[in-house]
Amino acid sequence: MSREIPPTECCVTIAGTGSYVPEKVLSNADLERMVDTSDEWITSRTGIKERRLAADGQATSDLATAAAKRAMEDAGVSAEELDLIIVATISPDAFFPATACYVQKNIGATNAMCFDISAACSGFLYAIQVARHFINTGNRRTALVIGAEKLSSMVDWEDRNTCVLFGDGAGAAVLRRDDSGDAGRKVISASLGSDGRMTDILHVPGGGSAMPITHDNADQKLNTIRMQGREVYKNAVNAMRRAAEDALQRGGLTAADVDMLIPHQANKRIIEAIGERMGIPAEKTFINLDKYGNTSAAAVAIALDEANKTGAIKDGDNVVLVAFGAGLTWASTLVKW
Ligand code: ACO
């Protein structure tokens, strides 16, 4: 479990949220024509009905930029006011420069310091916590935190074990310092952790420094996502439950106080198992994976924006965000909305 030292308290608020998903829809029926699968298998095992795919020429930074603009509009924040941009992604535009720098260029945020975070599906919540620390120390005041992925660029479209699961999209939040102390949407507490002993159960083996890409390993598709689904599943339920309970405890609450649980959108059965074990009913659990599949670092960010814009979360609600991903990594954030 994490050893988070509570940051010295100022008030870090989520001033606005935004999200963007590409127009192109890939349905389960479309996948039935591509690999040996069925709508029935995908729906019963995962809950996913369709996912979005980025257009040719649309990079992760383009998805991130669209989500960022919507979050800035929602927060009423100008590009000049941003002094920190963090993009959480495992599908960056390139090894370098950081995707956050492309976003900076696209929105004209000339005063911002920019970098990326790689924590897979937990990345958005890792980025929120990093931004929170920057704001709490007084080092930065207004941060744009984005989870964005173009996972379609790293999926083996002939592997039915993985290609049915993933999609493209982006979600963003503007975090601001509020010294009045009475602002809503306050980030209360967090719990984060990792277990590097299980790097091999979910990874892209090729294309990095350990296995530079060659014609040979590209032919073997070693630059695509490999996953031991059952191992990931087993670890996901326990790690997310522990992280969520730890974040709640640090905020002085219990699962009974939760008004909305917004979990990583990988698998409906995983989400239901967490809800059951924590005693949180289905109506207090936000699910949109049927529309988008697993968008890794973007998933919680998109779900938070949809929950916000549709009124699923209301002023004063105790909102728990929780995620789990490759690494392994896990994270949970408690927000008083
Ligand atoms: N269509 C039809 N059959 C399939 C498909 C498919 N798309 N994919 C696999 N199968 C078959 C398998 O080949 C296997 O057949 P076999 O028994 O003849 O060998 C059978 O279905 C059962 O496969 P399992 O792996 O046992 O199925 P399971 O019930 O575990 O579901 C799944 C698989 C959905 C991947 C599940 O394990 C899961 O959700 N795991 C967690 C994924 C996750 O949470 N990822 C989060 C992190 S993602 C990130 O960090 C980027």
8 has pLDDT over 60: no
> What is the average pLDDT score of the chain?
95
pLDDT value, residue 183: 78
- Atom 35 (ligand 1) nearest CA: 229
Residues in the chain: 337
Q: Residue 222 has what pLDDT?
A: 96
Q: Which of 60, 230, 328 to mutate to test the pocket of ligand 1 (most atoms within 8 A of CB)?
A: 230
- Residue 121 Cβ < 6 Å to ligand 1: yes
Question: Could you tell me if the CB of 201 is within 6 A of ligand 1?
Answer: no
pLDDT of residue 179: 84
Find tokens 């192109």 and name the residue: 24
- Strand 260-263 and strand 142-150: the pairing is unpaired
Q: What is the mean pLDDT of residues 213-220?
A: 95
State the average pLDDT over residues 308-337.
97
CB atoms within 10 A of CB 244: 28
Q: 84-123, pLDDT tens digit by residue?
A: 999 999 999 999 999 999 999 999 999 999 999 999 999 9
Indicate the pairing of strand 50-53 with strand 24-27: antiparallel
Which segments of the chain belong to CATH 3.40.47.10? Answer: 11-178, 186-336
pLDDT score, position 146 = 99
For residue 330, how far is its CA from the centre of ligand 1 (angstroms)? 20
Q: Is 264 a catalytic residue?
A: yes
CATH class in words for 186-336: alpha beta
Kindly name the residue from 136, 267, 288, 294 that is annotated as catalytic. 294
Q: Annotated catalytic, 114?
A: no
> Which of 30, 45, 152, 234 for mutating ligand 1's site (highest number of atoms within 8 Å of CB)?
45
How many whole angstroms separate alpha carbon 194 and alpha carbon 141? 28
Q: What is the pLDDT of residues 37-89, one digit of tens each?
A: 999 999 999 999 999 999 999 999 999 999 999 999 999 999 999 999 999 99
pLDDT of residue 194 exceeding 90: yes
**Chain centroid, CA 93 distance in Å:** 17
Q: What is the pLDDT of residues 272-281, one digit of tens each?
A: 999 999 999 9
How sure is the predictor about 3, in pLDDT bands with cuts at 50, 70 and 90?
low
**Mean pLDDT across the stretch 17-34?**
98
Architecture of domain 11-178: 3-Layer(aba) Sandwich (3.40)
What pLDDT score does 1 carry?
A: 52
The per-residue pLDDT for 254 is 97
Q: Is 121 a known active-site residue?
A: yes
* Tens digit of each residue's pLDDT (9 = 90 or more) over 133-192: 999 998 999 999 999 999 999 999 999 999 999 999 999 999 999 888 777 899 999 999
For position 4, what pLDDT does the model report? 56
Give the per-residue pLDDT at 109. Answer: 98
Ligand 1 within 6 A of 263 CB?
no
Q: Is the CB of 267 under 6 A from ligand 1?
A: yes
State what percent of residues in the chain have pLDDT above 70: 97
Distance of CA 163 to the CA centre of its chain: 19
- In terms of DSSP H, where are the helices of the chain? 28-32, 39-46, 60-75, 99-107, 123-136, 160-163, 215-219, 229-250, 268-278, 289-292, 299-309
Q: How far apart are CA 334 and CA 258, in angstroms?
A: 9
Query: What distance in angstroms lies between residue 294's CA and the mean position of ligand 1's atoms?
Result: 13
pLDDT at 6 over 80: no
